[in-house]
């Protein structure tokens, strides 16, 4: 994330995030916010063993 300050919440917050898959499909997914900067939100979604952790632009995350 370059020189941006990353904060991690003590309690993970449920959010909805727009994810763009590699095949071009966009999907709104229930996720958890696990970190954030002023421009992006780190999110976790899926169920084990298929959990994903990605960064999404802050504008693509609702409820963060």
Q: What is the pLDDT of residue 27?
A: 95
Find out whether 43 and 33 touch, Cβ atoms under 8 Å: yes
Instruction: Give the torsion through C-alpha atoms of 45, 46, 50, 54, to 10 deg.
Output: -20
Closest CA to 29 of 11, 43, 39: 43
Mean pLDDT over residues 56-62, rounded? Answer: 95
Look at residue 7 and tell me if it is in a domain. Answer: no
pLDDT digits (tens, 9 = 90+) for 30-52: 999 999 999 999 999 999 899 99
User: How many distinct structural domains can be found in the chain?
Assistant: 1
Q: Which domain holds residue 53?
A: 13-62
Rounded to two decimals, the pTM is 0.84
Look at residue 32 and tell me if it is in a domain. Answer: yes
Which tokens belong to 61? 């995350």
Cα→Cα distances 10→4, 27, 35, 41, 53, Å: 19, 27, 10, 15, 17
Look at residue 6 and tell me if it is in a domain. Answer: no
């Amino acid at each position: 994330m370059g020189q941006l300050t990353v904060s991690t919440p003590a309690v993970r917050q449920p959010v909805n995030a727009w994810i763009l898959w590699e095949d071009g499909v966009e999907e709104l997914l229930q996720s958890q916010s696990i970190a954030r900067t002023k421009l992006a939100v780190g999110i976790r979604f899926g169920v084990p063993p298929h959990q994903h952790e990605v960064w999404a632009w802050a504008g693509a995350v609702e409820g963060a």
